[in-house]
């Protein structure tokens, strides 16, 4: 086996604004991992830490794998400090890896609050233990309440089920949703067991079975609603299996600044229950730094499609809010505003197809770094279209493009990362619901899952 060290040699040419990079290869001495020592984990079992290394004692030493392990251990969220050092082993060809950790509290019991300008305040009560019995297992009981949603969920998850690199979990609970722009109330009970396993060092596949019992009704007997919404009122049982493939080529699980992340989900409904359709969604995110890593540029491309005629207004896609900035949640797409009593925008009906492209840039604005304040600009484009029933062509379900641009302010505070968006639509339809300002508890580059 050859042991090779790579060293980049960079030659900068300021006249033509170019850089020449030469990779120098040099044979190095043979080094093998003699032992991995874990220190400072009074609660967390050694096995939980060792699982984050994709090598074991006796394997060749690779500094890049060490850095990846550090990122994975930090991603657990169990430790306030993660430091890995090396020292000479029992002979010149062996090396010892020291993992020095400082644990932090992983259990919580408390009240929380959040806010965004579209949906208002949200209050939460949460009992959460992310490192149950030191095995890295998660036990969670969560209650949340907001103007549009109330939810009670119990979840259990083991990332090393049966001592293997296999995640197994289950969640169940009850959820009541009253969408801001749709005159419906949806009561849902759900059960969702899940497994996930790695396909390679940076890809994984998960399978979830989900059973939902939905009770869909109008917010009141006297409310005036679209006939196409009234046809979706009733009780429905939905039985589905959901496959998700993820490929993560970013440089960090916690704070990515380069690389890409790709995820595709396939939901198949009809394994029992009252509805039968398939739902596909994909998301592709890229990250890149500019100007000596001070500027982070991110792109996000997402798309989805539903095949089948059983998907109703509670299961179709909606756009707006964080997924299409500049427009309110459920603010674009096919609407019915022709019936008596409708307001100027009408009732949103959702769509069976959507596509979005988001460009974002985050950069320092001269505030000292310890204050955690950054600026940003964004451009969001997308469309939502396609219905099975357009009432003889009365409803427009074509793919009309929307676009918005704006400025962002990011602020890392003790209550969480805050984000302020100021936006203006560039292209819209007359019945769209725009949103010029949005305030959320958010990270610098967070995107809602489809």
Q: Calculate mean pLDDT across residues 386-411.
A: 91
Does residue 64 have a pLDDT over 60?
yes
In whole angstroms, what is the distance from residue 124 CA to residue 314 CA? Answer: 24
Q: What is the DSSP string of 348-391?
A: E--BSEEEEEEEEEEEE-SS-GGG-EEEEEEEEEEEEE--S--T
Residue ranges of domains in the chain, CATH in brackets: 4-103 (3.10.20.310), 219-441 (2.40.160.50)
Q: Calculate mean pLDDT across residues 202-220.
A: 93
Q: Calculate mean pLDDT across residues 406-415.
A: 83
**What is the DSSP-derived secondary structure letter of residue 61?**
P
Does residue 375 have a pLDDT over 60?
yes
Q: What is the pLDDT of residues 18-30, one digit of tens each?
A: 888 888 777 777 7
Q: What is the pLDDT of residues 151-185, one digit of tens each?
A: 889 999 888 888 788 899 999 999 998 887 788 89
> What is the biggest distance separating any 2 CA atoms in the chain, rounded to whole angstroms?
86
Does residue 109 have a pLDDT over 60?
no
In whole angstroms, what is the distance from residue 245 CA to residue 56 CA? Answer: 27
Does residue 394 have a pLDDT over 80?
yes
Q: What is the pLDDT of residues 229-265, one digit of tens each?
A: 888 899 999 999 999 999 999 988 767 889 999 999 9
Of the spans 56-65, 274-283, 386-395, which averages the highest pLDDT?
A: 274-283
Does residue 447 have a pLDDT over 60?
no
In whole angstroms, what is the distance from residue 282 CA to residue 156 CA? Answer: 26
Q: Hey, how many other C-beta atoms are within 10 angstroms of the C-beta on 235?
A: 11
Q: For residue 368, what are the contacts with CB-CB under 8 A and spacing of at least 6?
A: none
Which residue is listed with tokens 């409803």?
A: 395
pLDDT at 190: 95
Does residue 281 have a pLDDT over 70?
yes
Q: Calculate mean pLDDT across residues 351-374.
A: 92
- Cβ-in-10-Å burial (0-12, 13-18, 19+) of 148 comes to middle
Does residue 442 have a pLDDT over 50?
no
3-class SS of residue 280? strand
Binned at pLDDT 50, 70 and 90, residue 444 comes out as very low
């Amino acid at each position: 086996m050859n042991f090779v060290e790579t060293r980049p040699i960079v030659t900068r040419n300021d006249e033509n604004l170019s850089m020449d990079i030469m990779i120098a290869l040099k044979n190095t001495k043979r080094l093998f991992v003699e032992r991995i020592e874990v220190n400072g984990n009074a609660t967390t079992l050694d096995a939980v830490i060792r699982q984050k290394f994709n090598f074991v004692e006796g394997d060749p030493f690779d500094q890049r794998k060490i850095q990846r392990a550090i990122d994975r251990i930090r991603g657990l969220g169990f430790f306030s400090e993660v430091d890995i050092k090396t020292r000479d082993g029992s002979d010149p060809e062996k090396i010892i890896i020291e993992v020095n950790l400082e644990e932090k509290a992983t259990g919580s019991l408390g009240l929380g609050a959040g806010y965004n300008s579209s949906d208002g305040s949200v209050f939460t009560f949460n009992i959460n233990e992310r490192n149950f019995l030191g095995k890295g297992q998660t036990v969670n009981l969560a209650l949340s309440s907001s103007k549009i949603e109330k939810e009670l969920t119990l979840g259990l998850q083991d990332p090393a089920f049966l001592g293997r690199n296999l995640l197994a979990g289950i969640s169940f609970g009850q959820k009541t949703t009253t969408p801001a722009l749709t005159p419906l109330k949806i009561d849902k009970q759900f059960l969702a067991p899940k497994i996930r396993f790695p396909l390679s060092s940076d890809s994984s596949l998960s399978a979830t079975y989900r059973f939902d019992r939905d009770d869909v009704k109008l917010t009141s007997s006297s409310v005036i609603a679209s006939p196409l919404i009234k046809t979706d009122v009733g009780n429905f049982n939905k039985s589905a299996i959901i496959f998700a493939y993820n490929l993560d080529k970013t440089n960090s699980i916690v704070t990515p600044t380069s690389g890409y992340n790709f995820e595709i989900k396939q939901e198949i409904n009809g394994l029992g229950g009252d509805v039968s359709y398939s739902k596909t969604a994909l998301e592709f995110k890229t990250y890149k730094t500019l100007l000596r890593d001070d500027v982070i540029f991110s792109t996000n491309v997402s798309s989805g499609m539903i095949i089948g005629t059983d998907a109703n207004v509670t299961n179709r896609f909606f756009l707006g809010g964080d997924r299409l900035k500049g427009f309110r949640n459920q603010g674009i797409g096919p609407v019915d505003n022709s019936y008596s009593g409708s307001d100027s925008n009408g009732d949103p009906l959702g769509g069976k197809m959507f596509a979005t492209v988001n460009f974002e840039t985050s950069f320092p604005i001269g505030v000292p770094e310890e204050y955690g304040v950054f600026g940003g600009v964004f451009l969001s484009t997308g469309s939502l279209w396609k219905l099975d029933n357009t009432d003889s062509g009365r409803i427009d379900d074509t793919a009309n493009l929307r676009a918005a641009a704006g400025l962002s302010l990011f602020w890392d505070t003790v209550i969480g990362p805050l984000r302020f968006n100021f936006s203006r639509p560039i292209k819209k339809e007359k019945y769209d619901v725009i949103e010029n300002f949005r305030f959320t508890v958010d990270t610098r580059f967070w995107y809602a899952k489809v």
